[in-house]
C-alpha cells in the first residue's frame, strides 16, 4: 500500500514504542515523516531502523520536549520547514507515572498533565495553521483505555488521557468546516515503554487483584506496538475519511 505517497506527517513520541512503530508504518506506505522525541538516543535508533529498511530518505528527526512551549513552537516550525507543510499530526508522545492517589504529589500530577495533556494541546495549537493549509488534514491524538475504564494507581494518567479525549471531540467540531478530521486512539494491553520494565512504576504494595479485569481476551498477553500503528495509519489516510470526533479502542477485548 502507498496510502501516504506525497503526504507529510509529524509524529511525536517517535523514539520508542507506538510512536516509533507508527513512523515505520507510514514510511513503509510512502509517506514523508518528521519524527520528534525527547530522547535523542531513541530518535537515533528510529533513524537507524529506517536506514536498514531503506526508507530513511523520507525521514527527518528533531529532539523535542512537548511540555516546553517555546520548544514546541520551534520544533513545529522546524517540521514545517523539513516537510514543506503538515498533512497529518500524530501525537503519540506521553508518560505514565503511577502512585497511590493519597501519596500523589502535586509535582507528579503536574508532570503527567504537562507532558500528556498540555503537550498534546501545544502540538495541536502550533501545528494547526500548517494542517489547515495541508492536504486532507488529520490529527490523531492518543487517549487510553484508562480514560474510560478503571486503572488503579493511575489517577493522573487517566485524567490526562480523559482530557485529551474530550479535547479531541471539541477540536473535531471546531475545525470540521475547514476539512480537518480529529480522531483519538485508545490503546490498552499494548507493549510499550509505558507497560514494560519500569514504565508503569507501580507501588511496591500494589494490590494485583485490582487488575483482575485488565487482561486481553484475544491472543496471549499484550500485543506489539505495530498493532496500534496500523490503526493510526488507517485513520490518517483516505481509508479513514469518514471518521472524526471519536475514539477507537485498541485493546484486544480487555474492556468489553
pLDDT value at residue 193: 64
Lookup: cell for 64: 523535542
Cα 1 to Cα 10: distance, rounded to the nearest angstrom: 20
Q: Is 143 helix (H, G, I), strand (E, B) or coil?
A: coil
Class of domain 8-250: alpha beta
Q: What DSSP string runs through 44-100?
A: HHHHHHHHHHT-GGGEEEEE--TT-HHHHHHHHHHHHHHHTS-SEEEE---------
Active site residues: 157
Phi, psi torsion values for 142, nearest 5 degrees: -110, 110
- What's the longest Cα–Cα distance across the chain? 51
pLDDT value at residue 194: 56
Determine contact, residues 22/233, Cβ cutoff 8 Å: yes
pLDDT value at residue 198: 44
Mean pLDDT by 10 residues, the chain (256 residues): 95 97 98 98 98 98 98 98 98 96 97 98 98 98 94 96 98 98 94 59 88 72 92 98 97 85
Amino acid at each position: 500500500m502507498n496510502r501516504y505517497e506525497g503526504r507529510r506527517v509529524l509524529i511525536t513520541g517517535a523514539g520508542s514504542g507506538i510512536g516509533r512503530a507508527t513512523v515505520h508504518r507510514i514510511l513503509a506506505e510512502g509517506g514523508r515523516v518528521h519524527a520528534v522525541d525527547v530522547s535523542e538516543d531513541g530518535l537515533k535508533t528510529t533513524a537507524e531502523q529506517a536506514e536498514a529498511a531503506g526508507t530513511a530518505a523520507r525521514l527527518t528527526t528533531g529532539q523535542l520536549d512537548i511540555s516546553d512551549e517555546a520548544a514546541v513552537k520551534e520544533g513545529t516550525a522546524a517540521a514545517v520547514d523539513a516537510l514543506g507543510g503538515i498533512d497529518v499530526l500524530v501525537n503519540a508522545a506521553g508518560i505514565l507515572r503511577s502512585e497511590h492517589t493519597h501519596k500523589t504529589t502535586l509535582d507528579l500530577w503536574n508532570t503527567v498533565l504537562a507532558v500528556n495533556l498540555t503537550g498534546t494541546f501545544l502540538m495541536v495549537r502550533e501545528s494547526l495553521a500548517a494542517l489547515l493549509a495541508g492536504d486532507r488534514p488529520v490529527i490523531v491524538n492518543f487517549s487510553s483505555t484508562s480514560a474510560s475504564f478503571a486503572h488503579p494507581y493511575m489517577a493522573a494518567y487517566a485524567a490526562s488521557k480523559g482530557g485529551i479525549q474530550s479535547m479531541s471531540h471539541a477540536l473535531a467540531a471546531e475545525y470540521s468546516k475547514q476539512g480537518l478530521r480529529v480522531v483519538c486512539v485508545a490503546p490498552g494491553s499494548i507493549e510499550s515503554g509505558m507497560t514494560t520494565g519500569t514504565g508503569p512504576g507501580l507501588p511496591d504494595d500494589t494490590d494485583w487483584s485490582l487488575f483482575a479485569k485488565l487482561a486481553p481476551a484475544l491472543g496471549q498477553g499484550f500485543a506489539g506496538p505495530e498493532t496500534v500503528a496500523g490503526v493510526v495509519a488507517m485513520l490518517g489516510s483516505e481509508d479513514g475519511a469518514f471518521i472524526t470526533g471519536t475514539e477507537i479502542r485498541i485493546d484486544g477485548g480487555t474492556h468489553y
